[in-house]
Amino acid sequence: MVRKSPDPDVSLYALIAYYLRFLRQKHRMTQEEVGKIIGCTKSQVSKYEGGTRQLDEREADILDQLWDTGGILTILLRYAKLGVDPNWSEKLRKYERTATTHRIFSTNVIPMPFQAEGYARSLLSAGHDACLVKDVDAAVARRMDHQAAVLADSPQIWAVLDEISLRPMGGTAVMEEQRDLLLRLGGERRISLRVVPENAAPHVGVDGSFRHFELPSGLRAAFAGTTLEVGRVIEGQREAAEVVVRFERIAARSWNEDQSREWIAGMRT
């Protein structure tokens, strides 16, 4: 099945996908031929042309040289990364559900998939007050279902939470429920949960939260941003690998699992 080219007016990422197909067809090449040149499968090239995945800089550079474009694919990709991919939330949810290994760093709130229902409701209610969430009950239900799906296949999860992300986001009952969930999940063998203390700052995570995913295919992906309609999914393998190094640098400044568990048990509720 041939994927339909995205509308190039939607975003720079869509323009890259549209132009990639245009160039391939202009040079009378098949997706399989292009895949062999850049080192991926025909299916992957189809995803690039359909806009469901993005070229990385290495691949863009190879194709720029192959088709003598003057570097236009690389330039477009560079500018696209400065903006927002309109499909980022859909891609993020897909990677969260399918990844075999997650690395999560959060600076300001307890992240999914660690949110208790009351905690999630507090956050989404704040979003409703800011006109970002229309139906709080429906949004809470979707979040709980999504969290269950993320945990369903027992992925390995390595999480580091900034101490400030564990501040109260609701009443005592809400935070007690949240604390108990963190302790339960953190006690599972497949989940490592650590806290980086406030006095560890400055560190390389002070500028924002991020995630890294290892996928069943062996590929990597990452995400940087927030849940307030701003975010970027990183699919370039070199850049995604650099996110792991960033994560490990922060993890090296955190308390160990036992120390973190002790702190969470006594966290302010």
Q: What is the pLDDT of residues 2-40, one digit of tens each?
A: 667 788 887 888 899 999 999 999 999 999 999 999 999
- Residues 167-188 have pLDDT tens digits of 999 999 999 999 999 999 999 9
pLDDT at residue number 205: 86
Which H or E run includes 217?
none
Q: How far is CA 80 from the centre of its chain?
A: 17
If one counts every other C-beta atom within 10 angstroms of the C-beta of residue 239, the result is 15
Q: And the tokens for 132?
A: 């970002």
Strand partners for 132: none
SS3 164: helix
DSSP 195: E
pLDDT at residue number 7: 86
Confidence of residue 229 (pLDDT cuts 50, 70, 90): low
**Where in the chain is CATH 3.30.870.10?**
88-265
pLDDT at residue number 91: 85
Assign domain 12-80 to its CATH superfamily. Answer: lambda repressor-like DNA-binding domains (1.10.260.40)
Confidence of residue 226 (pLDDT cuts 50, 70, 90): low
The segment with the largest mean pLDDT, out of 2-16, 102-116, 226-240, is 102-116
Secondary structure tally for the chain: helices H, strands E:
11, 6
**Where in the chain is CATH 1.10.260.40?**
12-80
The larger pLDDT score, comparing residue 8 to residue 118, is at 118
CA dist., res. 19 & res. 51, Å (int): 11
Q: And the tokens for 178?
A: 């949240």
Residues ≥6 apart with Cβ < 8 Å to 154? 190
In this prediction the pTM is: 0.77
The segment with the largest mean pLDDT, out of 12-16, 101-105, 204-208, is 101-105
Architecture of the structural domain at 88-265? 2-Layer Sandwich (3.30)
- Residues 186-204 have pLDDT tens digits of 999 999 999 999 999 888 8
Residues ≥6 apart with Cβ < 8 Å to 53? 44, 47, 235
Q: And the tokens for 117?
A: 């229902």
- Residues 45-65 have pLDDT tens digits of 999 999 888 898 899 999 999
